[in-house]
Amino acid sequence: MAVKLGVTQQTYQVLESAPERVTVERLFRVLSVLGVKWVLPRSCGHF
């Protein structure tokens, strides 16, 4: 996984051991590597 993300194993280990410290950018990279697709609903006019 570290190789697919383009980070060192040590960096990925930190991500796994302290997920609360992960950046949004890195989170989206991980999700992308895992093949997760995000679908945002259209606004219902509540905002």
User: pTM, whole model, 2 decimals?
Assistant: 0.65
Residue 46's pLDDT is: 62
Q: Does residue 43 have a pLDDT over 80?
A: no
Q: What is the 3-state secondary structure (H, E, C) of the chain?
A: CHHHHCCCHHHHHHHHHCHHHCCHHHHHHHHHHCCCCCCCCCCCCCC
Q: Name the residue with tokens 């302290």.
A: 18
Best CA proximity match to 33, nearest among 9, 8, 3: 3
Give the type of residue at 16: E
Checking if the pLDDT of 35 tops 90, the result is: yes
CA torsion 36→42→45→47, rounded to 10°? 30
Residue 33 has a pLDDT of 92
Percentage of residues in the chain with pLDDT exceeding 70?
91
